[in-house]
Amino acid sequence: MLADPIVALATPPGRSALAVVRVSGEGAFAVARRVVAGFRTDPPRTVTLATFHAADGTPIDRGLYTVFPAPASYTGDDVVELSCHGGLAVPARLVAALEAAGARAAAPGEFTRRAVLNRKLDLLQAEAVGDLIDATAPAQARAALSQLEGSLSRRLEALRAALVELQALLGYEIDFPDEDDGPVPLGRIGAEAVAVRGRIEQLLATAPAGERLREGALVVLAGRPNAGKSSLFNALLGSERALVTEVAGTTRDAIEAPTDAMGWPIRLVDTAGLWEPADAIDRLGVGVSRRWLAAADLVLLCIDGHRAPGDDEAEVLRGRSAVVVRTKSDLHGAGSDAVSAETGEGLDRLRTRIAEELFGARAALADLEPGISRERHRTALARARDALTAALPHLAPGGEAVLAAHHVREAASALDVLVGAIDVDEVLGRVFASFCVGK
C-alpha cells in the first residue's frame, strides 16, 4: 500500500500559543530524525522535549514530540506529532523543514483517508470525524462523537450480519433444493427478509432529523413590517446583527446566522417579511423572503400583540411547519407564546419550542439514537431496502432461491459500500463459516 510520508499543520494557522504538526507514513521516523535533535522512537506514545532544527542546522523551536509506531496510531501508519509555538513563522518553518527532510504536503483529509485504508476507521466513522470538526452546536458534536465511536457502524453491522445470515440460509436452499425439509423453509426466510427490511426502514426514517441535525435546521422569521423580527433575531443570537428601527420596512435583504436552540443547531434567517411592496427594492426584498419561506424547516411568524392572524399571516402558516410568536410582551403582556426582545422574557421557552418542533422527541433525549445523516447513507439504505423488496417474490413458496439470493447479495453490498467494507471475501467467509454442512 502506498504510504509515503505526509506532513501537515493539524491546527489552524494564525496567532496561537501552540501549533501541532503531524507526519505520517512509512519513513515518518526517518523524516523526523532529520529535524528533531536526539529523536527516539522509544518509548512510544510518550511526550519528549527536544529542539527542532532546519536542514541547515539552524534552530526553529524547542517543543514536544510524540511517536506513534504503526499500527497503534490514528492513520495506522507510523506517526510523529510535533507541537511547537503557534503563530505563522514557527509552524511554517517546521513544516518546511519536515518537507525538506522527505515528507510531502498532505492533501485535504489524507490522514483520515489513510486511517480508512488501514481499517482504523470505517467510512461512517471517517465522515463523523469531519462532522465533529464542523459541529457548531452541542447536539451536533454529540451525534458526531457517537458516530465516530461506532454507534451507527454497529447498527449497520447488525443489519449486515442479518443479511449474511439470509444469504447463508439461501445458500443451503440452493445447494440442497431437493430436501423437502431443509433447516428453514423458504417462507420463513421470506419473513426474516421482511423483518430485516423493516429494520432498514426504521434507520431510513432517521434521515430527516439526522440530516437536519448535521446541516442545521433553517428557521425563518416572518411577519408584517415592524413586528419585531429583527429584534427577535438579534435576541436569539445574543448579538446585534440586524438593524432595528421604528421605521416599517427596515429589513430588506435576508440575513442568515448559525446559532443553536437548547443545543440543537439552527440557521436563523431574518427577512423583510411579507407585505405590499412600495418600491422596487421592497419588491426584491419580498421576493427574497418568499424564497426563504419556501425553503424553511420552521417559520417563526411574529405577530405584534395578541390579535388573531390576518389573511396575509394565515397564508404564511398554511401548509408549513410554523410557530406563532407574540412579540413585545413587555408592551402587550405575557402569554405562553409571548416573547420580549427587550427583556428576554419567553426566549428560552421559544428556543425549547423550536428544538421540539424541529427535532421532535429527540430534542428531549439525553442520548441520541444513532441515525443516518447524509444523502449517501439514505441512498445506500434505500438501495438495500429495494433489493430486499425485489427478493420477496422469490421467497414465496415455490420461489427461486437463486434469484432471491441475488437480490439479498445486492442489499448486503449496498450496506458494504455504506460502511466502506467492500471486501466480498469477508462475506463469503462468514457464510461458509456459519453454514459449513460438510461439503
Residues forming beta bridges with residue 219, ordered by sequence position: 268, 298
251 vs 340 by CB, closer to Mg ion: 251
Q: Is 303 helix (H, G, I), strand (E, B) or coil?
A: strand
Alpha carbon distance 57, 76 (integer Å): 31
Q: How far is the CB of 121 from Mg ion (least distance, A)?
A: 46
Angle between helices 151-175 and 186-204 (to 10 degrees): 160
Contacts 24+ apart (CB under 8 A), 46-50: none
Q: Does residue 231 belong to the site contacting ligand GTP (CB under 6 A)?
A: yes
Question: Of 265, 256, 171, 194, whose CA–CA distance to 221 is shortest?
Answer: 256
Residue ranges in 265-304 that form contacts with ligand GTP under rule CB under 6 A = 273
| Burial of residue 245, with CB atoms counted within 10 A of its CB: 0-12 exposed, 13-18 middle, 19 or more buried | exposed
3-state SS, residue 299: strand
Considering only the stretches 204-212, 260-268, 334-342, 431-439, report the one whose residues sit in contact with ligand GTP under the rule CB under 6 A. Answer: 334-342
- Check: CB of residue 234 under 8 Å from CB of residue 283: no
**Shorter beta-carbon distance to ligand GTP: residue 206 or 251:** 251
Q: Which three cell numbers stand for residue 354?
A: 423550536
d(CA 8, CA 30) in angstroms, rounded, equals 16
Distance in Å, CB of 217 to ligand GTP, minimum: 21
Q: Which helix (H) or strand (E) holds 413?
A: helix 401-419
Which helix H or strand E contains 255, and what residues bound it? strand 255-261
**Residue choice 53, 197, 229, 326 for contact with ligand GTP (CB under 6 A):** 229
Residue 251 within binding range of Mg ion, rule CB under 5 A? yes
Instruction: Count interface residues toward ligand GTP (CB under 6 A).
Output: 23
Is residue 327 a contact point for Mg ion (CB under 5 A)?
no
Q: Does 230 bind Mg ion (CB under 5 A)?
A: yes
- Told to check if 11 binds Mg ion by CB under 5 A, we report no
By C-beta, is 259 or 327 nearer to ligand GTP? 327
Minimum CB–partner distance for residue 354 and ligand GTP (Å): 17
Applying CB under 5 A, which of residues 250, 352, 389, 434 lies at the interface with Mg ion?
A: 250
Which one of 180, 246, 311, 367 is in contact with ligand GTP (CB under 6 A)?
Answer: 246
Q: Is 146 in the site for Mg ion (CB under 5 A)?
A: no
Residues that bind ligand GTP (CB under 6 A): 223, 225-231, 244-246, 248-251, 273, 327-328, 330-331, 340-342
